[in-house]
Structure 1
Amino acid sequence: MWNTPNLLTLLRILLIPVFVGIFYIPVSWAPFVCALVFSVAALTDWLDGYLARRWQQTSPFGAFLDPVADKLMVVVALVLLVQSDPRAALALPAAIIIGREIAVSALREWMAELGARTQVAVSKVAKFKTTVQMVAIILLIFSRDDTDSPLYGFGMGLLYIAAVLTLWSMLLYLRAAWPSLKSPDRPLDGEEKQ
Structure 2
Amino acid sequence: MSAARTDLQIDRPAIADGAALWRIARDSKVLDLNSSYSYLLWCRDFAATSAVARDSGGRPVGFVTGYVRPDRPGTLLVWQVAVDVGHRGRGLAAALLDGLTRRVGAEQGLTTVETTITPRNTASEQLFTSFAERHGATVQREVLFDAAQFPNDPHDPEVLYRIGPLSDSSDSPEPFGLSEPSGLSGLSG
Q: Give TM-score scaled by structure 1 length.
A: 0.25
Q: Give TM-score scaled by structure 2 length.
A: 0.25
